[in-house]
Chain A
Amino acid sequence: MSDYILDVTDVDKNFGGLRALSDINLRVKKGTVHAIIGPNGAGKSTLLNVIVGRLAPNRGRVLLGDEVLTGKQPYEINQLGVARVFQTPEIFPELSLLQNVMVPALAKRDGEFNLSFLKSLFSERDILDQAEHMLEDVGLIEHKDHLAGSMSRGDKRRLELAMCLSQQPKLFLLDEPTAGMSRHDTNRTIDLLKRIKARGMTKVIIEHDMHVVFSLADRISVLAQGAIIAEGTPEEVRNDPKVKEAYLGGETI
């Protein structure tokens, strides 16, 4: 086993004539937070979609530890330990918050298909406890019986985080986890993510908000026009002239 949990090698992705990703090489060390930044349309979300199996790359491969992810279905990739939050929260609006967290917890325990239809949810003590614990973690426990669809956008995001965390993923992908959040909610989310970081979970974050990136990331990759133009520690990236040129338009951060 290498030190790297995620290993993306030579990935190309074309949409018709458009080259969305070219020659992407990305390695993420275990237990670190790796941020991917870049201007709109740089291919950040495409890269994420290739990793989780939503899009098949035209070339190259993705490894999680020693497992090949390329060519697998999203649910298989999740079962291998990759969880993801979306730009717009993907939750179960018609279920209660508690049920929302129970579903992924059950997936982690029972696998992709389990036919236990004569067992009562009520007797799933461990899953219930775990789900409540997760909701407590993100500060939503007092709403546990509310319908998820009735929550605010910020709460839905935190719920989605709790859902992913309940699976204790090896690799956690976050697609702009603070987009559209108030300053207050953003800071709460940063605190939450810092706490998870302390537990040694590897994370890949796509983010526009530089405040979030520089307060969380151990390493940063800069994507522009489908290629990685720079990679390094926040300090290195901040001072990289190419990055200033391509991404920041010459301004300093």
Chain B
Amino acid sequence: MSNTQIASPKQDLIYMLVLSAVVLTMPLWLQPFGAAYPDLMQKFMIFGIFAIGYNILFGLTGYLSFGHAAFLGVGSYTAVWCFKLLSMNVIPAMIFAVILSGLFALLIGFVSLRRSGIYFSILTLAFAQMSYNLAYSVLTPITNGETGLQLTQGDARVLDRMSGIEATTSLPTPNLFGIEGTGYSGFYICAALLIVSFFIYLRIFRSPFGLKLRAIKSNQNRMNYTGYNTRPYLMTAFVISGMYAGLAGSLLAVTDPLAGAERMQWTASGEVVLITILGGAGTLIGPLLGAGIIKYFENIFSAFNDQVLLNAFSFLPDWLAHVFASIVGLFVGEGWHLTLGLVFMLIVIFLPGGVMEGITRLWRLVRNRSKSLDKDEKEQQPSTREV
């Protein structure tokens, strides 16, 4: 997984093809895991977008933002307002969400990036918590406070009415020129956006700009004496990752047109940090894996209840089944956070590079073994491979 070789466009093309294939066939291969329902797969996509955007900032520059949920929230609110005022079509909602969260990131980044390290993290955290509290109090006319911003029958929807689409008796749903934003079609909309987002993200990783961001993470002092003004670079990375978060936020509103302030809370900011570190910060696909793992745990593990466990242990004598069920029960259902915490601790201690580091180590192990087996055939494989 060394990032030491310059990847060729051909490698990147293969990357994009494999990723697209994996993403688009998700409904098939997730079947055995019990995760092939559209709502969950949409979550994989949305948090995948959120996490790769976050990785542009944290993974490349090393600046740990603790306030990215604010941009997610801004994206959601903007999207719902677009649904209310303009159109139920998702395109304007997404465009405005990305622009507005980008502007918001510009503002927060302008102040926060005056500091680095822990002070930067605290500043971003402070801004996000401020946004969260404002959304609950002063900004109630915009955010509708605790109830959350919702669609109503009487919304303006100027563009829709102009083009003659009238609301029926039930509430309208977000759509892409008539394609529903929920269910399988909704999943494919999110999947397409993930692929496009990943493409831009891959280009950033491979560009001189991406190299400079990594150099900032590696040695900012050297960057200053090498003729770089690092602030605008950091600012750009911050804004781009804010825009990714805004896009993810708008997609959350597409799948469920309701925006609440809890989306901006610090726990939500912490989640994306967790996702990125778990998957492997700074690696290309680590954040996607992290998003998948955490959302899977959240939805599947938390759904296990006592009855399910008792059934699982039913092959045991009754009393033993109860003992096992109550022990395991601590780690699933409501207690899935405990499992997540343990897994996270294990990964940070033993695999600081996240799941991606584990995969790389396994890959090396397998390759070395097969190499020592084929010693007679003196086939030389390329020694480094980029992941």
Contacts and interface: CB of A to CB of B under 8 A. Distances in A.
Interface stretch (B165-173, B183-191, B220-228, B300-308): B220-228
B367 interface: no
A108 B236 CA distance: 20
Contact of A122 (B2, B206, B384): B206
B219 A93 contact: yes
Given A90-B222, A145-B5, A115 B236 contact: yes
A15 interface: no
B154 interface: no
Contacts of A107: 226-228
A78 B209 CA distance: 19
Interface residues of A, number: 45
B224 to A, nearest CB: 5
A159 to B, nearest CB: 11
A96 B226 contact: no
Given A91-B222, A103-B212, A78 B227 contact: yes
A104 B203 contact: no
B322 interface: no
A145 B206 CA distance: 16
A152 to B, nearest CB: 17
Contact of B226 (A78, A114, A120, A122): A78
A74 interface: yes
Interface in B202-243: 203-204, 206-212, 214-215, 217-219, 221-230, 232-233, 236
The DSSP consensus for interface residues of chain B is: helix
Contacts of A73: 224, 229
Given A92-B218, A98-B6, A118 B226 contact: no
B353 to A, nearest CB: 12
Contact of A121 (B211, B218, B222): B211
B323 interface: no
A124 B208 contact: yes
Given A95-B218, A103-B215, A106-B208, A112 B227 contact: yes
A74 to B, nearest CB: 5
Interface size range on B against A: 35 or more
A95 B214 contact: yes
A4 to B, nearest CB: 23
Contact of A90 (B3, B212, B221, B227): B221
A113 B5 contact: no
Contacts of B212: 103, 106
A24 B70 CA distance: 53
Contact of B384 (A90, A116, A145): A145
B241 to A, nearest CB: 13
B206 A79 contact: no
Nearest to A85: B225
Contact of A116 (B207, B226, B232): B207
Nearest to B8: A122
A206 to B, nearest CB: 15
Interface string A80-113: 0001100000111111101100111011101111
Residue with the highest number of chain A CB atoms closer than 10 Å, among B2, B5, B222: B222
B9 interface: yes
B343 interface: no
B163 interface: no
A84 B226 CA distance: 9
Contacts of B209: 114-117
Contacts of B346: none
Contacts of B9: 120, 122-123
Contacts of A78: 224-227
Interface string A116-148: 111111111001100000000000000001110
A104 B227 contact: yes
Given A90-B219, A94-B214, A95-B214, A121 B225 contact: no
A52 interface: yes
Contact of A84 (B2, B207, B223, B225): B225
Given A107-B228, A167-B227, A128 B6 contact: yes
A116 to B, nearest CB: 6
Contact of A103 (B5, B207, B224, B226): B226
A147 B229 contact: no
A156 to B, nearest CB: 12
A119 B207 contact: yes
A75 interface: yes
A49 to B, nearest CB: 11
A113 B214 contact: no
A108 B226 CA distance: 8
Given A93-B219, A103-B212, A116-B209, 20 more contacts: A75-B226, A78-B225, A92-B214, A94-B214, A95-B3, A95-B4, A95-B211, A98-B6, A103-B226, A106-B208, A107-B227, A112-B229, A116-B208, A117-B204, A117-B236, A118-B200, A121-B210, A145-B5, A145-B384, A163-B226
**5 nearest A-B residue pairs (beta carbon):** A117-B209, A96-B4, A78-B227, A107-B227, A92-B218
7 contacts: A78-B224, A95-B4, A96-B2, A96-B5, A106-B208, A121-B207, A163-B226
Interface of B: 2-9, 12, 200, 203-204, 206-212, 214-215, 217-219, 221-230, 232-233, 236, 384
